[in-house]
Amino acid sequence: MNGFKHNSEENYIEIIQRLVKTVVLLLLLVVALIILNIVDLSSPKIPKKEVIALATEKKDSNPINTDTLHAVAPDTALLADEPNSFQIKYGRLLISNTSFYFGPKGTIAHLSNGMNCQNCHIEAGTKPFGNNYVAVASTYPKFRERSGSIETIFKRVNDCFERSLNGKSLDTTSKEMVAIREYIKWVGKNISKREKPKGTGIKDLLYLDRAADAEKGKITYTLKCKSCHAENGEGKLNPDGLGYQYPPLWGKHSYNKGAGLYRLSRFAGFVKYNMPQGASFSNIQLSDEEAWDLAAFVNSQPRPDKDLSKDWPKISGKPVDHPFGPYEDNFTEQQHKYGPFEPIATMAACEREGDPDNMLCRMPNVHNAVRQGVMLHDVLEEYLVEFSPVSPKIEGRVIATDAPSTLLTSVKGVNYQFR
């Protein structure tokens, strides 16, 4: 009996030991599976540089028809690889913390209203449709109608200081200005010259079929904006008082009337894809109507003036929503500011045989082109029946080398000409 009892105890102990080993092995297996799931050893990792190259290649393969791939800024983790990384990092700091350096209490100079560049250029100018810098280096220098001149990146940055920051310009030879330029160039380093991929700048919204309504915009502001930007649009300062956690949208510390966001189309496109906080092109929180009406409300509030007498030397180059005359058309300042913009933007033009529907007078990518079913020579004949004879002045600025000087139209089969 004693021997049997002893053997039973040994067997019992052996069974327990085996169970313990089995449990330990199972636990180790579970831990290994968790690690494998996190590290994802099932597929080889692509270095970050290659990820950026692939994203750019895929984005460029279909820049028009996709809403999922947009202009992508480089990964900031790769900054250490740049030979001028310190300069680029300094430029990024100046963009994200402008007020610390150049605000009313700035450590370098007192040049601005206390806002930061990234209040208008989200995530230091890298967010898709967040007024980003991705295509700045690829498109500058360039001619701009507002100044009537070819502008450099320096000029464009100083425009922002003088308008959006309602301040004074930076010395273009200063290390700060050079650092800002180098950062902007780095943000667009993957973009070829003259290329402007989808997702850069601010996305255009379709025009409303009515004027934007400031009263409706006030309702949207109260429901979706006031909690951050405050009752009177004054924003919310950081605890240290050196900059804004939420920038002022109107008042003496906000952007002035010369800023791009003072145009309703710019403001509406900006807030549509960036506001309220957390919104993006893939997480839209405002309808088009709310965005336009909100723009009307915010831009109907008081803000600093700006001398615009040198802007738009060629008035025909003014955008349809520029709120200050004179204009080349007969629409009022009120309509140019609040709309409806469709009648201002609509143009009549000839369609050449074989042109696609979105091309007018050799201008490609025309939005909302509508065929009217009217032939130009029919219109001319109707006019001449009533008002003939006519004696238009031939100015001689353009000469058709393959046609007589009496040619009035190149349409075949008509019988009218200059006299």
Per-residue pLDDT at 322 exceeds 60: yes
Q: What does the block give as tokens for 342?
A: 């469709």
- What is the per-residue pLDDT for 412? 65
Q: How far is CA 138 from the centre of its chain?
A: 15
Per-residue pLDDT at 197 exceeds 80: yes
- What is the average pLDDT across 112-126? 97
Lowest mean pLDDT among 55-69, 351-365, 371-385: 55-69
CB 316 within 8 A of CB 328: yes
Per-residue pLDDT at 151 exceeds 90: yes
- What is the per-residue pLDDT for 389? 73
Q: Quick one: what percent of the chain has pLDDT higher than 90?
A: 61
Pairing of strands 236-237, 149-151: unpaired
Break the chain into its structural domains and give their ranges. Answer: 71-187, 214-345
- What is the per-residue pLDDT for 221? 98
Q: Where are the alpha helices (DSSP H) in 143-275?
A: 153-162, 175-187, 214-224, 226-229, 264-272
Lowest mean pLDDT among 5-14, 201-210, 354-363: 5-14
C-alpha to C-alpha distances, 336 to 221, 252, 287, 296, 305, nearest whole angstrom: 23, 24, 22, 12, 18
Torsion of CA 49, 53, 55, 59, to 10 degrees: 160
d(CA 337, CA 263): 7
- What is the per-residue pLDDT for 410? 65
Each residue's pLDDT tens digit, 2-28: 444 444 555 656 666 676 677 667 776
Higher per-residue confidence, 89 vs 6: 89
Higher per-residue confidence, 366 vs 30: 366
CB 256 within 8 A of CB 305: yes
d(CA 149, CA 136): 17
Per-residue pLDDT at 67 exceeds 80: no
Each residue's pLDDT tens digit, 274-291: 999 999 998 999 999 999
CB 180 within 8 A of CB 111: no
> Binning pLDDT at 50, 70 and 90, where does residue 345 land?
confident
Higher per-residue confidence, 194 vs 20: 194
- What is the per-residue pLDDT for 408? 63
DSSP class of 208: P
Task: Indicate the SS3 state at residue 132.
Answer: strand
71-187, CATH topology level: Cytochrome Bc1 Complex; Chain D, domain 2 (1.10.760)
d(CA 45, CA 255): 45
CB 144 within 8 A of CB 152: no
Mutual angle of helices 153-162 and 175-187, in 10-degree steps:
110
- Is the bond preceding residue 326 a cis peptide, omega within 30 degrees? yes
- What is the per-residue pLDDT for 358? 77
> Binning pLDDT at 50, 70 and 90, where does residue 63 land?
very low
Which CATH code of 3.30.110.60, 1.10.760.10, 3.40.50.2000, 3.30.70.360 fits the domain covering 214-345?
1.10.760.10
Contacts 24+ apart (CB under 8 A), 148-152: 148/312, 148/313, 148/314, 148/317
Identify the CA nearest to 322 among candidates 307, 333, 309, 330.
Answer: 333
- 246 has which bridge partners? 236
d(CA 306, CA 319): 18
- What is the per-residue pLDDT for 380? 72
Lowest mean pLDDT among 58-72, 236-250, 360-374: 58-72
Query: In CATH terms, are 71-187 and 214-345 the same topology?
Result: yes
- Residue 363 has a CB neighbour count (10 Å cut-off) of 11
End-to-end CA, the chain: 138
d(CA 74, CA 56): 10
Residues, the chain: 419
- What is the per-residue pLDDT for 174? 98
pTM greater than 0.85 (yes/no): no
d(CA 20, CA 10): 15
CA angle at 84 for the pair 78 and 90, rounded to the nearest 5°: 85
